[in-house]
Amino acid sequence: MPRNRVVLGLQWGDEGKGKVIDLLAVDADLVVRCQGGANAGHTVVVGGKKTVLHLLPSGILNENARCIIGHGVVLDPIALCHEMDDLLAGGSDIAKRLVVSDRAHLVLPSHPHLDKAQELAKGAAKVGTTLRGIGPCYTDKAARSGLRAGELIDLKAFEAKLRAHLKASNVIAQALGAEALDIDAAVAAYLPSARRIAPLVTDSIRILHEAMAAQKSFLFEGAQGAQLDLDVGTYPFVTSSNTGIGGILTGSGLSHKQLGSVIGVVKAYTTRVGSGPFTAELTDARGEALRQRGREFGSTTGRPRRCGWLDLVIVGYACRLNGVDAIALTKLDILDGEKELPVCIGYRLDGEVLEGPPARIEDLARVEPVYQTLPGWSTPSTGARTFADLPKEAQDYVRFIEKRLGVPVSWIGTGAGRDEIVVR
Ligand code: GDP
Ligand code: IMO
Ligand code: MG
């Protein structure tokens, strides 16, 4: 039987999904992105060489895998062409094994423009988006006014629709206090990339179902993380897609019976980019130290990531909501040398200890973390390859996580490189 796997981020994104996907892709015939867009930044480090993928599935380094951009993804042709060119410069012609769903919505020039205008209009209440046009694109999708990749089959008709769309969007941009987009310039900048990706566009649902029937093995690559989910994350400080198992289902067109096991990626501490409550955040020198040691700067925007202790309240919540079978714990090495490791195991709100995050953002901003403090370790875990190689306290840290969550930790990251991992 083929082994199908889903990889999901269980925190606020940037958990190290790229590394885990790259590792698991050796067994996969197909690697499938199902939601999000170029807001994602998935890092793969092989032989000291770093590659950051935004729209392309992180399984591309497996030359035998077919890469699918499913219909739940919002696709920016300009960003995709940049990424394909970067890989081409490195000697890999991904276009030969890349499929783009004809139902995937296109990020149009109006979308980043509106993203910026909306953020500016929100002022201090801004989401802190990646400004890649994600929210406005999904808004158009839900409003049934978007344009899909399938439209690229007739570029002339597409151009007319694009112009009409940009004209309508300019009214909204101006209402938000932004300048109107120069439509001729935007169309001229967009069409060459649109033309280039048009031959890759096809019915991905058919391809996925045929591959399933042929017993091929699948790796589904989640983007963002559970707390950025549009429905169950820290709304409104979230992205505009479903980042959990639901997004994999609706964004691929396969049935839940076909998805296989669910691997949740968890960083050994917590980071967040952008605005919104972060219960276990460290705003002092310890947070800064984690940021420096962990090189916690955004893979997409370069912004400094906010850092804090491991929060098992949100990770437990994500495990329950997504049916997580196993955890890949990343960046354990970054905790080397910490004397003590507080782990958040509860949220206290008005005298009551909650097991999951409250829905109202005002309540979430008020919760106090309940910590259990574990001893740190002084010998390095960096580069460890077996569980027994890890310092005893690091082993205990892992066992504590497993026990609290009731989910096995099957991979432990001890460095950024592909082979710097403990497989249990
Ligand atoms: P993603 O968005 O979930 O794919 O994660 P990012 O690529 O945005 O951020 C994770 C960062 O941590 C990248 O720079 C990775 O190279 C790095 N990384 C992943 N796993 C490990 C690990 O176990 N140890 C260390 N030190 N770095 C890691
Ligand atoms: P990966 O896949 C971390 C965050 C943004 C912002 C919010 C909304 O690399 O884990 P958006 O541009 O999506 O409308 O921004 O979501 N965000 C991410 N944070 N990792 C990501 O992706 C993210 N994608 C979006 O910082 O707070
Ligand atoms: Mg990332």
Average pLDDT over residues 387-396: 98
Domain with CATH 3.90.170.10 in the chain: 265-423
Q: Cβ(40) to ligand 2 under 6 A? A: yes
Three-class secondary structure assignment of 368-414: EEEEEEEECCCCCCCCCCCHHHCCHHHHHHHHHHHHHHCCCEEEEEC
The confidence score (pLDDT) of residue 279 equals: 98
Give the pLDDT confidence score for residue 127 in this predicted structure.
Answer: 97
What are 310-319's pLDDT values in tens digits? 999 999 999 9
Residues of the chain with CATH 1.10.300.10: 105-197
**79-99: b (≥16 Cβ within 10 Å) or e:** bbbebbeebeeeebebeebbb
Q: Is the pLDDT of residue 299 over 90?
A: no
Q: CATH: 1.10.300.10, 1.20.1250.20, 1.10.15.40, 3.40.50.150. Which one for 105-197?
A: 1.10.300.10
Work out which ligand 1 atom sits closest to the CA atom of 44: 16
Ligand 1 pocket mutation pick from 43, 50, 58, 310 by most atoms within 8 angstroms of CB: 43
In the predicted model, what is the mean pLDDT of residues 297-325?
Answer: 96
Any ligand 2 atom below 6 A from CB of 223: yes
Ligand (nearest to CA of 271): 2
What separation in Å is there between the alpha carbon of 54 and the centre of ligand 3? Answer: 8
CA-to-CA distance for 15 and 329, rounded, in angstroms? Answer: 9
95-111 pLDDT, tens digit each: 889 999 999 999 999 99
pLDDT mean across residues, the chain: 96
Considering only residues 388 and 27, tell me which one the structure prediction assigns the higher pLDDT.
388
Mean pLDDT of 378-401: 96
Probe target for ligand 1 pocket from 19, 397, 398, 412, with the most ligand atoms within 8 Å of CB? 19
Task: Tell me which residue has its CA closest to atom 1 in ligand 1.
Answer: 14
Q: Is 37 helix (H, G, I), strand (E, B) or coil?
A: coil
Domain with CATH 3.40.440.10 in the chain: 5-102+201-263
pLDDT score, position 134:
98
Average pLDDT of span 319-335: 98
105 is catalytic: no
Q: pLDDT at residue 1 above 70?
A: no
DSSP 153: G
CA-CA distance, 97 to 80, in Å (whole number)? Answer: 14
Q: Give the mutation target among 129, 230, 275, 278 for probing the ligand 2 site: most ligand atoms within 8 A of CB.
A: 129
Q: In the prediction, which pLDDT does 12 show?
A: 98
Report pLDDT for 2. Answer: 65
Q: Which of 42, 71, 105, 165 is catalytic?
A: 42
Query: How would residue 417 be classed by pLDDT, with cut points 50, 70 and 90?
Result: very high
Place of tokens 């999901």: 8
Residues 306 and 291: their CA atoms lie apart, in Å, by 8
Task: Tell me which of 3.90.170.10, 3.30.465.10, 1.10.10.10, 3.40.640.10 is the CATH number of domain 265-423.
Answer: 3.90.170.10
Mean pLDDT (whole number) for 12-41: 97
pLDDT computed for residue 362 by the predictor? 97
Question: What is the rounded CA–CA span in Å between residue 296 and residue 290?
Answer: 8
With a CB cutoff of 8 Å and minimum separation 6, the contacts of 108 are 133, 137, 140, 146, 147, 162, 165, 166, 169, 190
Report how far ligand 2's centroid is from the alpha carbon of 327 (Å).
Answer: 21
pLDDT, position 31: 97
Distance between Cα 420 and ligand 1 center (Å): 11
- Single out the catalytic residue among 14, 102, 115, 311: 14
Ligand nearest to the CA of 21: 1
360 burial level (CB within 10 Å; 0-12, 13-18, 19+): exposed
pLDDT of residue 92: 82
Question: For residue 170, what is the enclosing H or E element?
Answer: helix 155-175
145, pLDDT greater than 90: yes
Q: Ligand 1: which residues within 6 Å by Cβ? A: 9, 13-19, 41-43, 45, 299, 330-331, 333-334, 413-416
CA–CA separation, 45 and 17 (whole Å): 12
Side-chain-facing half-sphere of 126: CA atoms under 13 Å: 15
Give the whole-angstrom CA distance, residue 332 versus residue 2.
31
- For 162-198, letters b (16+ CB in 10 Å) and e give beebbeebbebbeeeebeebebeebbeebbebbebbb
Does the pLDDT of residue 348 top 90, yes or no? yes
- CATH class for the region spanning 5-102+201-263: alpha beta
